[in-house]
Amino acid sequence: MQSAITRGTYLGWLREVEGEPVSGAGLVLMEWGPTRTSPNPFRARVVNVYTPPAWRRQGFARALTRHVLQYAQQQGLLQLSLRASAMPDTLSSDLGFRTASHEMLLDLPALRSGGASSRGSDR
């Protein structure tokens, strides 16, 4: 984490009330390269959105996440991702996030254990 902070690829925000942390949020910048639809060489993911139970339902996470989104927009980012469990669905949808299912995942250990098909091999 310290390395990502030093490189500027992890940015974190903290909201405090009288010196006590009441909410936090982060933004991970991933070098992706520009595409036809986005000239920015980075993609970003909102992470670590958290509010301690005693401070929830007071708008802290919403306000802080809005700040993160504004920062990302100022940096020229056109799209952000958010892991579904990072915040309640109502909050994420209220902020404009939508479900997207255009990615496929592969667990690499499955390849080592023979769990994946051999299609596309270099024969």
Mean pLDDT of the chain: 82
Flag whether 119 is in a domain: no
Residue 61 included in any domain = yes
What is the per-residue pLDDT across 3-12, written as a single tens digit (0 to 9) for each? 888 888 899 9
- Going across the sheet that includes 42-50, the strands are 10-17, 20-31, 42-50, 80-82
Nearest one of 56, 53, 52, 49 to 92, comparing CA atoms: 49
Q: Number of structural domains, the chain?
A: 1
Cβ-count burial 81-107 (b if 16+ within 10 Å, e if not): ebeeebbeeeebeebebeeeeeeeeee
pLDDT of residue 93: 79
Could you tell me if residue 48 is inside a domain? yes
Beta-strand (E) ranges in 51-87? 80-82
pTM over 0.75: no
Q: Which pLDDT does position 81 carry in this prediction? A: 86
* Res 123 pLDDT > 50: no
Q: What is the pLDDT of residues 74-101, one digit of tens each?
A: 998 888 888 766 556 777 777 877 777 6
Residues 51-74 pLDDT 10s: 999 999 999 999 999 999 999 999
Per-residue pLDDT at 76: 87
CATH number, residue 63: 3.40.630.30
Q: Calculate mean pLDDT across residues 8-26.
A: 94
Residue 8 lies in a domain: yes
Residue 102 lies in a domain: yes
CA 38 to chain centre: 17
